[in-house]
Amino acid sequence: MQARSIFTKALFDQKMQILGFGLTLAVIAAMDVYIWPSYRDTLQNFEIPPAFEALLGGDLNLATAPGFLSAEFYSWIPILLLVYAVIQGTGAIAGEESGGTMDLVLAQPVTRRSFVLQRIAATILASVLIIAIGYTGWLVSVPFVDIDVTLWDVFLANVNLLPITLLFFALSLAAGAIAPTRGMAVAVTVGIATATFFMQTLAATVDVLEPLRYLSPFYYYGNGQPLVDGLNWAHVALLTGISCGLAIVAVRTFEERDVSVGGASDLTLAAMLRRTFATRTGT
């Protein structure tokens, strides 16, 4: 296999990630389905504290198969996909600059916009592939286990993983276009993701914080329970719209600014510490 364009190179470069994340999703899904029968009876008479329930993704009835799978799988899988999204999002612009290879590519007759759009297209396709490989875990388990979900329910719930993955990809892409280093872009994205994840779960338990949940992408992800509530197309559209907005910010920012060469930025941590130190000692 050889890279014939920015798009194909970006895709080939992440083939191990596609396989790795995809198979991880598949294995966890199959495990959850196969352990379901043995859990079912135990959970039927089990009272879960409401706060704990909220942390698992809202008002779930863990004694039902959709509730169990939502808590055990769909409520936290976006965090796993977030890792992938941040690797790709910060890698596309900030990573290529930190590595110093951006000069090489952008010295070719290609626009910066085309460069970023091809990287976005590659990640969309790769995300679809990861989720599709993950779906095989359901295909090899659901038909063979006495469980009250259909492959179609699970298919829709898997489709629902895509918008939130791409949202964090777009966020980290924009962060990578704005922040001077990849490290800073990773820190910003992971910070926002962690904050909004806990904002969503805390807002579900603490009434005063309730309005805050609407600020969290995890709320629009469907509270972690698309298997219970079904796919909300309005929420899918909203997350996709925000992703498009962030992608436009990323392209525009990158088109306007100077391309940095690896480590050339004076906004490195070392330089910032130096400046801080110099100010404090008055030198």
Partner 1 sequence: MTAAIELRGVVKHYGETRALGGIDLTVDAGRIFGFLGPNGAGKTTAIRILLDLIRPDEGSAFVMGFNCQRESVQVRKRVGYLAGDLRLYEGMRGNEFLNYIDSFRPEKKDATYRDALCERLGLDPTKRIRALSKGNRQKLGVVQALMHRPEVLILDEPTSGLDPLVQDEVVRLLEEAVSEGRTVFFSSHVLPEVERISQSVAFIRQGELIAVEDVAALKSRNVHVLEVTFSAPPPPSLFALPGLKELHRDGSTVRVQAQDGVDAVIKACATQTVIDLRTEQPSLEDVFLAYYTGDGPTGAHDERREARRASA
Q: Which residues bind partner 1 (CB under 8 A)?
A: 2-5, 9, 13, 99-104, 106-111, 258-259, 261-262, 266
Residue 266 gets which letter from DSSP? Answer: T
Q: Which is nearer to partner 1, 13 or 229 (CB)?
A: 13
Q: How far is CA 226 from the centre of its chain?
A: 17
Q: Strand, helix or coil at 69?
A: helix
Q: Which is nearer to partner 1, 105 or 128 (CB)?
A: 105
Task: List the structure tokens of 246.
Answer: 């962030």
Amino acid identity of residue 64, one-letter, is T
End-to-end CA distance of the chain: 56
Q: Which residue has the tokens 């910060």?
A: 90
Q: Minimum distance from CB of 258 to partner 1 (Å)?
A: 4
Residue 73 CA to residue 226 CA, distance in Å, equals 11
Q: Which is nearer to partner 1, 7 or 135 (CB)?
A: 7
Q: Which is nearer to partner 1, 27 or 104 (CB)?
A: 104
Q: Minimum distance from CB of 231 to partner 1 (Å)?
A: 39
Q: Minimum distance from CB of 123 to partner 1 (Å)?
A: 18
Q: Which is nearer to partner 1, 134 or 180 (CB)?
A: 180
Task: List the structure tokens of 137.
Answer: 């875990």
Measured from the Cβ of residue 38, the count of other Cβ atoms closer than 10 Å reads 8
Nearest residue to 255 via CA among 155, 174, 134:
174
Residue 27 CA to residue 3 CA, distance in Å, equals 30
Q: Minimum distance from CB of 257 to partner 1 (Å)?
A: 8
Q: Minimum distance from CB of 115 to partner 1 (Å)?
A: 11
